[in-house]
């Protein structure tokens, strides 16, 4: 099990690398994270209806959601991703409200419960999924969340040491040495754990190290004298490792060396970074496109010079649209579109591009009487469409072909794209706009539209930029194969850990 001395220590990265490392030994491997809080989700195989109570192995025909990190970990493990690998996903909708997704399905019951009461309801499902995956696999690579030593959370823990105790897991505790204070983080975390939980810590890992590792001495030896736990790996800083960022947004410091062509300005793609941004991981491939600069915009000034403006997914479309207007970004986006600039809306971004958003059930406000309960909200009016929100969520994988696309997006004509949908709203032509002759060109049935001028495109399909055919059509670029990314990660961990330690970690006691 991979635990972190803090958030951002590199748990997800290391768990992904270990999944591929052990899979390369010919072992059957799967990932597991009991609870993840993220608006980055993927669509995977769900359980049969009768098995959602037990977490048993029979998979159903319906799709479900898990956190993106566990999806990529499953691919690294050469396993088929399914909802048991992340049985509880919390998707923040506001600072004090999250939608609870249990075994792949949004659970109104769990969402409505006070936070302190959720664990008792969720734990039996988590334990059943954990037991089922342990029974089916040679190695289960488990990831914790945050820190296991959050003493205010310990009595209701369902993701860290409770999971470790249930599985009898051997644990690695990871610290981000680049932040400074890594040895204090490791010792403090260890010291706050109960004695029985300390016994589960098999090794400390120093992650994101820059410089000469010999300069760390004698601190690792002193830490071992204090705790009895050896430091088993020092992992060098891995820039541009190829995995999507799980939390936060990228910034210009993450731009790969040599972005843009010498002597020519780069193509600038500005993605609106609203507060409830979702599925930001789908933009990872753009970071590797030669001649492309990816920026995240929270103010109109950050859109200056942008060739494309992208309105990404949102877990709270109504409140993010209100935020957009409060920042003055709506006027900047509209001006860009009217000047012929390219605008792309994905999922919630598509909904905002329309003329109207209708919320008769209060889905966007957490129920009738909430932030938008029962209200009709004007959209940006760049596409003559209307979206109606409904409680039932669309969760599915999709493979669709673009029809005849005109204008600046014409390169997508006839391109078949694979991706996934996760949304509550359904979108259609706006009747009043249609009556006066303003209609959108439908490029995929119920999935994609563009305006008459051709420069504004809206799609429900997430994952467009992960599709090789789309990257070739738009940029003439090749996507970096995920297998190449996973193999490099596996090589890094194999070189970084003490000889023989990773094999000892999975041996029966």
pLDDT at 370 over 50: no
Question: Does residue 133 contact residue 140 with C-beta atoms inside 8 Å?
Answer: yes
Three-state secondary structure readout of 328-388: CHHHHHHHHHHCCCEEEEECHHHHHHCCEEECCCCHHHCCCCCCCCCCEEECCCCCCEEEE
What average pLDDT does the segment 478-504 reach?
93
pLDDT at 245: 67
Residue 329 structure tokens: 């970004």
Mean pLDDT, the chain, as a whole number? Answer: 91
Which pLDDT band holds residue 366 (cuts at 50, 70, 90)? very low
238-257: pLDDT as tens digits: 877 778 766 555 544 444 43
User: Per the residue annotation, which of 336, 423, 430, 462 is the catalytic one?
Assistant: 462
Residue 219 structure tokens: 């601190």
19 is catalytic: no
349-365: pLDDT as tens digits: 999 999 999 999 888 86
Omega into 30 within 30° of 0, i.e. cis? Answer: no
Question: Does residue 417 contact residue 461 with C-beta atoms inside 8 Å?
Answer: yes
Question: Does residue 108 contact residue 69 with C-beta atoms inside 8 Å?
Answer: no
User: In Å, what is the CA distance from 205 to each residue of 208, 305, 428, 451?
Assistant: 10, 43, 52, 52
Cα separation, 35 vs 135, whole angstroms: 20
pLDDT at 459 over 60: yes
Question: Does residue 12 contact residue 246 with C-beta atoms inside 8 Å?
Answer: yes
430 is catalytic: no
DSSP state of 497: B
User: Per the residue annotation, which of 19, 171, 347, 400 is the catalytic one?
Assistant: 347
Contacting residues for 460 by C-beta, under 8 A, at least 6 apart: 346, 347, 350, 421, 423, 427, 446, 447, 448
Q: How many CB atoms lie within 10 A of CB 505?
A: 18
pTM: 0.90
**Using N-to-C axis directions, what is the helix angle for 68-76 and 11-23, rounded to 10°?**
20
- pLDDT: which is higher, 52 or 160: 160
């Amino acid at each position: 099990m991979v635990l972190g001395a803090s958030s951002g220590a590199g748990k997800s990265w290391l768990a992904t690398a270990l999944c591929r490392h052990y899979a390369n030994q010919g072992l059957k491997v799967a990932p597991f994270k009991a609870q993840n809080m993220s608006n980055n989700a993927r669509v995977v195989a769900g359980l049969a209806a009768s098995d959602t109570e037990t977490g048993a192995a029979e998979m159903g025909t319906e799709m479900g959601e898990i956190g993106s990190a566990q999806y990529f970990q499953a691919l690294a493990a050469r396993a088929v991703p399914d909802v048991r690998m992340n049985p509880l996903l919390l998707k923040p909708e506001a600072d004090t409200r999250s939608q609870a997704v249990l075994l792949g399905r949004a659970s109104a019951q769990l969402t409505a419960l006070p936070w302190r009461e959720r664990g008792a309801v969720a734990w039996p499902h988590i334990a059943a999924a954990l037991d089922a995956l342990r029974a089916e696999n040679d190695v289960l690579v488990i990831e914790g969340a945050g820190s296991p030593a959050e003493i205010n959370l310990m009595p209701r823990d369902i993701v860290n040491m409770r999971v470790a105790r249930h599985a009898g897991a051997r644990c690695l505790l990871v610290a981000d040495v680049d932040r400074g204070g890594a040895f204090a983080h490791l010792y403090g975390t260890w010291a706050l754990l109960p004695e029985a939980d300390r016994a589960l810590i098999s090794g400390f890992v120093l992650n994101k190290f820059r410089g000469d590792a010999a300069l760390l001495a004698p601190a690792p030896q002193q830490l071992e004298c204090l705790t009895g736990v050896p430091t088993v790996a020092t992992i060098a800083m891995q820039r541009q490792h190829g995995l999507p960022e799980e939390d936060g947004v990228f910034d210009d410091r993450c731009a790969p060396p040599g972005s843009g062509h010498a002597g020519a300005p780069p193509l600038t793609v500005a993605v609106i970074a609203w507060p409830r941004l979702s599925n930001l991981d789908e933009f990872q491939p753009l970071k590797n496109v030669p001649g492309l600069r990816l920026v995240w915009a929270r103010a109109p000034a950050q859109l200056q010079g942008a060739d494309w403006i992208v309105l990404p997914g949102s877990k709270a479309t109504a409140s993010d649209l209100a935020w957009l207007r409060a920042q003055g970004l709506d006027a900047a986006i509209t001006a860009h579109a009217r000047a012929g600039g390219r605008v792309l809306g994905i999922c919630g971004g598509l909904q905002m591009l329309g003329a109207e958003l209708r919320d008769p059930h209060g889905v966007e406000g957490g129920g009738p009487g909430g932030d938008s309960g029962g209200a009709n909200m004007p959209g940006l009016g760049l596409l003559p469409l209307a979206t109606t929100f409904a409680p039932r969520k669309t969760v599915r994988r999709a493979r669709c072909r673009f029809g005849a696309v005109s204008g600046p997006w014409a390169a997508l004509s006839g391109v078949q794209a694979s991706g996934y949908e996760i949304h509550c709203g359904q979108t259609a032509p706006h009747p009043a706009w249609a009556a006066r002759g303003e209609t959108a060109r439908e490029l995929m049935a119920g999935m994609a539209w563009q305006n008459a001028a051709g420069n504004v495109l809206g799609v429900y399909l997430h994952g467009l930029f992960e599709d090789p055919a789309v990257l070739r059509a738009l940029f003439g670029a090749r996507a970096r194969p995920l297998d190449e990314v996973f193999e490099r990660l596996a090589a890094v961990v194999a070189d970084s850990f003490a000889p023989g330690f990773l094999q000892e970690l999975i041996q029966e006691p």
